[in-house]
Chain A
Amino acid sequence: MDAAEVEFLAEKELVTIIPNFSLDKIYLIGGDLGPFNPGLPVDVPLWLAVNLKQRQKCRLVPPAWMDVEKLENIRDHERKEETFTPMPSPYYMELTKLLLNHASDNIPKADEIRTLVKDVWDTRIAKLRVSADRFVRDQEAHAELDNLTLMEINTSGAFLTQALNHMYKLRTNLQPSPSSQSQDF
């Protein structure tokens, strides 16, 4: 999968906005989006929130977990544990990136949040690399990856499976079959 596709899937997540216009309920294929009244918070998918923000029609409210102390706790917890800890949202990386790019003026202490989320991401990717390395070296048959988000799986998933395929082919060709001929110059 492309990273862009994963981001596209992440845009379905609901976030809270405070619109400055009024509109009746709209009925979309994915569901209803409830009436918009200026000043009253309403939950909408991320793609609509970003679009409205770009057109200056709303103010974004950061999700509850996007707070400096909570993220510090998550980061410390992640660093202590050997396995992966559960994340506040299955799309935490994409949400952070989109919200901080388009609405950093609505999010307090945006710089520190960006640093903290990056720290958490780095820790988890490092654990993933270590685990993949051990997997290959010990020639394990299966691994347990709880609490991984789609974006993290996507960074190494495609490469890992293709590399394992190649290694399998190389390994099976180590024992030459009786019918194969070697080349003569």
Chain B
Amino acid sequence: MFVSDFRKEFYEVVQSQRVLLFVAWDVDALCACKILQALFQCDHVQYTLIPVSGWQELETAFLEHKEQIKLLIKQDDDLEVPAYDDIFRDEQEDEAHSGNESDNGSEPSEKRTRLEEEIVEQTMKRRQRREWEARRRDILFDYEQYEYHGTSSAMVMFDLAWMMSKDLNDMLWWAIVGLTDQWVQDKITQMKYVTDIGVLQRHASRHNHRNEDEENALSVDCTRISFEYDLRLALYQHWSLHDSLCNTCYTAARFKLWSVHGQKRLQEFLADMGLPLKQVKQKFQSMDISLKENLREMIEESANKFGMKDMRVQTFSIHFGFKHKFLASDVVFATMSLMESPEKDGSGTDNFIQALDSLSRSNLDKLYHGLELAKKQLRATQQTIASCLCTNLVISQGPFLYCSLMEGTPDVVLFSKPASLSLLSRHLLKSFVCSTKNRRCKLLPLVMAAPLSMEQGTVTMVGIPPETDGSDRKNFFGRAFEKAAEGTNSRTLHNHFDLSVIELKAEDRSKFLDALVSLLS
């Protein structure tokens, strides 16, 4: 939906009606949903919430409610829309262009007869029309060829709330979590992330400047959001420093922790900073205060020596009460694990509702449960990566690398969901790039497969673009998968909103891969 004034054309239309909200299974969509729910509660708007995990569910739910639907709103990561004009301007241009042409054509037409004029004009018009259509097809092909993400939808919702002056600290936190989710899953470029962080920082200082004033300091229970230039280690404040160093993709890949040599380098790193091993393996909260004081700067310095230049990243943290402090990335990992946890109780939407609830302040126990699940997930990811690299499961198929998880691999059930599998694949690619000496292999994209369901014999397949420093995160695997499936008549399901993740019957796997190889080479 293209709107120019978000508030008037969207919110005020919707405010007086009953709303049906479809939400995708994504942390960013959850955050946008929370903000929208808070706005609806302020204005007493009735709404129904339906989680959808893919295009098929969207269609069935839409058909169920078809009679009552007038306007459709979907929460999703926005796929970048090229300028509105690009696709539609051609028509006007062409009309203006043809207007000019006919003017030019009319001057020498004095020599021609009228009939010829008309025929010439018509053929010119038909040619232009064909040219225009060809150009349009090119633009649409370019548009649909790559898949990438625009501004986080949680931030878009927060802008709406700000325009209506109903923005609160809580909503700002959800917008921050939405943006951080995009960064954690490598969906946006570093540049965009830093720009968006700047935008959010202005909002944060506007809401939270009273914390510095001692006279009128807020109650301890109020949420406080502060900007931090904090370490990149996942969940390090809720785990031990050693565990966090071992299970964060960035450090694990750079140290090559799957090899013995890598473990030694880790010990060197810790010794370089003067952190005793016993302290580092304790829970972070219980570490010596004298060690924690300059921890960030010390780690950054030592990390620079060991070749890790981006150890610190700009992010935000929230704290309320005396005990609870969370970084934005902690909440992202926790919510993602809650949403994709393999425990199946009742319908599939239970996990969704749990994850949605964990984002609000009153359900901290769910958030802590999510943190535990996230720790398990990160550990399982690192162990799977280590085993894949040590047993050389990543093979080069020519134009891309391929890796397939076998049925009996431990924790393989954790990786059947799209977001977990994508995260595993990205980390695997990063680790592989650090471990291989083959220059050509470093620039290849990766296709990863994991078993999805034993009874139906399906696998989930995901495609990751090559790992380069300045990559613009555009993913061409969506179209490639579609074409390969068409070409070989494989039974595939392109259900997920993220088109680079598909489900495939295990028997069709080899011919699908062959088609993909020929397509991409």
Q: Which residues of A line the B interface, CB within 8 A?
A: 20, 55-57, 100, 104-105, 107-111, 114
With an 8 Å Cβ cutoff, the count of chain B residues facing the other chain is 15
Q: A56-B166, A56-B168 are in contact. Are A100 and B219 (CB under 8 A)?
A: yes
Q: Mark B162-197, 1 if CB is under 8 A from A, else 0.
A: 000110100000000000000000000000000000
Chain A: minimal CB distance from B11 (Å): 15
- Asked whether A104 lies within 8 Å of B222 as measured between CB atoms, the reply is yes
Residues of A within 8 A of B217 (CB): 109
- Asked whether B219 lies within 8 Å of A111 as measured between CB atoms, the reply is yes
Chain A: minimal CB distance from B372 (Å): 30
- Asked whether B219 lies within 8 Å of A55 as measured between CB atoms, the reply is no
Q: Mark B218-248, 1 if CB is under 8 A from A, else 0.
A: 1111100000000000000000000000000
Determine if B216 is an interface residue (Cβ-Cβ < 8 Å).
Answer: yes
Using CB atoms, name the residue of chain A closest to B169.
A105
Chain A: minimal CB distance from B41 (Å): 7
- Asked whether A55 lies within 8 Å of B222 as measured between CB atoms, the reply is no
Determine if B42 is an interface residue (Cβ-Cβ < 8 Å).
Answer: yes
Chain A: minimal CB distance from B170 (Å): 11
Using CB atoms, name the residue of chain B closest to A111.
B219
> Considering the complex of A and B, which 3 residue pairs feature the smallest CB-CB distances, nearest first?
A110-B219, A104-B219, A55-B42
Q: Mark B1-38, 1 if CB is under 8 A from A, else 0.
A: 00000000000000000000000000000000000000
Chain B: minimal CB distance from A148 (Å): 29
Q: A55-B41, A55-B42, A56-B42 are in contact. Are A110 and B218 (CB under 8 A)?
A: yes
Residues of A within 8 A of B220 (CB): 111
Residue with the highest number of chain B CB atoms closer than 10 Å, among A56, A104, A114: A56
Chain B: minimal CB distance from A81 (Å): 30
Q: Which of A55, A57, A104, A108 contacts B221 (CB 8 A)?
A: A104
- Asked whether B216 lies within 8 Å of A108 as measured between CB atoms, the reply is yes
Chain B: minimal CB distance from A110 (Å): 4
Within 8 A of A (CB), among B236-270: none
Q: Which residues of B line the A interface, CB within 8 A?
A: 41-44, 165-166, 168, 215-222
19 A-B residue pairings within 8 Å (CB atoms): A20-B165, A55-B44, A56-B42, A56-B166, A57-B42, A100-B219, A104-B221, A104-B222, A105-B218, A105-B222, A107-B219, A108-B215, A108-B216, A109-B217, A110-B218, A110-B219, A111-B219, A111-B220, A114-B219
Q: State A102–B276 Cα separation when bound (angstroms).
A: 46
Using CB atoms, name the residue of chain B closest to A114.
B219
Residues of B within 8 A of A55 (CB): 41-44
Q: State A100–B222 Cα separation when bound (angstroms).
A: 11
Q: State A108–B222 Cα separation when bound (angstroms).
A: 12
Residues of B within 8 A of A109 (CB): 216-217
Residues of A within 8 A of B216 (CB): 108-109
Residues of A within 8 A of B44 (CB): 55
Using CB atoms, name the residue of chain A closest to B42.
A55
Using CB atoms, name the residue of chain B closest to A57.
B42
Using CB atoms, name the residue of chain A closest to B168.
A56
Residues of A within 8 A of B215 (CB): 108
Using CB atoms, name the residue of chain B closest to A110.
B219
Q: State A104–B44 Cα separation when bound (angstroms).
A: 24
Residues of A within 8 A of B42 (CB): 55-57
Residues of B within 8 A of A100 (CB): 219
Chain A: minimal CB distance from B72 (Å): 27
Residues of B within 8 A of A105 (CB): 218-219, 222
Chain A: minimal CB distance from B57 (Å): 33
Residues of A within 8 A of B168 (CB): 56
Residue with the highest number of chain A CB atoms closer than 10 Å, among B43, B215, B221: B221
- Asked whether B218 lies within 8 Å of A104 as measured between CB atoms, the reply is yes
Chain B: minimal CB distance from A109 (Å): 8
Chain A: minimal CB distance from B213 (Å): 10
Chain A: minimal CB distance from B242 (Å): 37
Residues of B within 8 A of A110 (CB): 218-219, 221
Residues of A within 8 A of B219 (CB): 100, 104-105, 107, 110-111, 114
Chain B: minimal CB distance from A181 (Å): 59
Q: State A107–B168 Cα separation when bound (angstroms).
A: 17
Chain B: minimal CB distance from A63 (Å): 17
Q: State A100–B220 Cα separation when bound (angstroms).
A: 12
Residues of B within 8 A of A104 (CB): 218-219, 221-222
Residues of B within 8 A of A56 (CB): 42, 166, 168
Q: State A111–B166 Cα separation when bound (angstroms).
A: 26
Using CB atoms, name the residue of chain A closest to B38.
A56
Q: State A110–B218 Cα separation when bound (angstroms).
A: 7
Q: State A114–B43 Cα separation when bound (angstroms).
A: 31
Chain A: minimal CB distance from B139 (Å): 43
Q: State A105–B221 Cα separation when bound (angstroms).
A: 9
Chain B: minimal CB distance from A52 (Å): 10
Q: State A110–B219 Cα separation when bound (angstroms).
A: 5
Residues of B within 8 A of A57 (CB): 42
Q: State A49–B43 Cα separation when bound (angstroms).
A: 16
Chain A: minimal CB distance from B211 (Å): 11
Residues of B within 8 A of A20 (CB): 165
Q: State A104–B220 Cα separation when bound (angstroms).
A: 10
Residues of B within 8 A of A111 (CB): 219-220
Q: State A57–B166 Cα separation when bound (angstroms).
A: 9
Chain A: minimal CB distance from B361 (Å): 13
Chain A: minimal CB distance from B154 (Å): 19
Q: State A55–B42 Cα separation when bound (angstroms).
A: 4
Q: State A109–B42 Cα separation when bound (angstroms).
A: 27
Q: State A55–B218 Cα separation when bound (angstroms).
A: 20
Using CB atoms, name the residue of chain B closest to A112.
B219
Q: State A111–B217 Cα separation when bound (angstroms).
A: 10
